[in-house]
Amino acid sequence: MMRLLLAGLAATLVACGPGVIRAPDSQTSEGPRAEGAQQVRIRRLLVSYAGAQGASANITRSREEALERATMIAGMARDADQSFRELVVQYGDTPPDTDDRSTQRLIVRGQSSLSEVEEESALGLRERQVSRALETTAGYVIILREPDPTEEEQGPQSIGARHILIQFEGSSRVAEGVSRTRDEAIALAHQIVASARAEDADWMALHREYTDEPNSPEGGDLGIFEHGQMVPAFDRAAFRLEVDEVSEPIESEFGFHIIQRTR
């Protein structure tokens, strides 16, 4: 079984014991943490410029003009009577990752798709506070922190899960004797998912037959773990599952994981 430990400033990943795919220690309680919340709900407004990542062809403003426009909009957003959503609809440019015009994002530290500067700014805001214009590769971003999510929206803080690991040549810490290609691995992983979701599924038998995880515990059982303890792709997928639900194949540096939430 594999765990990830932090090795120096480079955060080199190493294996350290059976059963669990762990995140670097810097993401757990031992490492330094930035000030601010661990989870917030936000709205985001993007002001793009010609040449920025994902900018549409009809955007002709310069970087300097985009900064001036974003700074003006941030000032407008701080007016208590101003609807931030209306500002997004009226002035925002559609970002390359998602259309923010009617979107609230739930941001969890270390698990968002935002840039580092956006995530840290969002997590450092007070409720209803508006950020300054933040420079990103897509342009200048303004963030409003919405009221905190309810307990139901936050979801569980810890879960139980088990997994089957299918590796391929090139996977990190690939097990001895694994020679399949990535395409062969994903095809096999989809086959296992279908079997694991069948009414007469025998998870233990599937695990014994297919897992490539060295020294895996019985059934690939990971026990109980909290947000941030597993590598990000695994963590995100596992916490989205309902109890007993089986995931689609989830790729990490170790290969493809088939995950079943147990608690």
Q: How is the chain split into domains, by residue range?
A: 39-147, 156-261
Q: In the chain, pLDDT over 90 holds for what percent of residues?
A: 65
Section 135-162 average pLDDT: 86
CB 200 within 8 A of CB 263: no
**Of 20, 19, 38, the residue nearest 29 (C-alpha):** 38
| The domains spanning 39-147 and 156-261 adopt the same CATH topology | yes
User: Of the CATH numbers 3.10.50.40, 3.40.50.300, 3.40.190.10, 3.30.470.10, which one belongs to the domain with range 39-147?
Assistant: 3.10.50.40
CB 259 within 8 A of CB 230: no
User: Band of the pLDDT at 22, cuts 50, 70, 90?
Assistant: low
Separation in Å, CA 71 to CA 48, 68, 133, 243: 13, 5, 6, 46
The string of pLDDT tens digits covering residues 45-93 is 999 999 999 999 999 999 999 999 999 999 999 998 899 999 999 999 9
CA distance 239 to 116: 22
- Return the C-alpha torsion angle 128, 42, 232, 247, nearest 10: 130
Q: State the sign of the Cα–Cα–Cα–Cα dihedral 137, 53, 112, 72.
A: positive
CA distance 224 to 150: 23
Q: How many angstroms separate the most distant Cα atoms in the chain?
A: 65
CA distance 263 to 248: 18
Q: How many CB atoms lie within 10 A of CB 218?
A: 10
The string of pLDDT tens digits covering residues 230-258 is 888 898 899 889 999 999 999 999 999 99
The string of pLDDT tens digits covering residues 213-222 is 988 999 999 9
CATH fold label, 156-261: Chitinase A; domain 3 (3.10.50)
Reduced to 3 states (helix: H, G, I; strand: E, B; else coil), residue 241 is coil
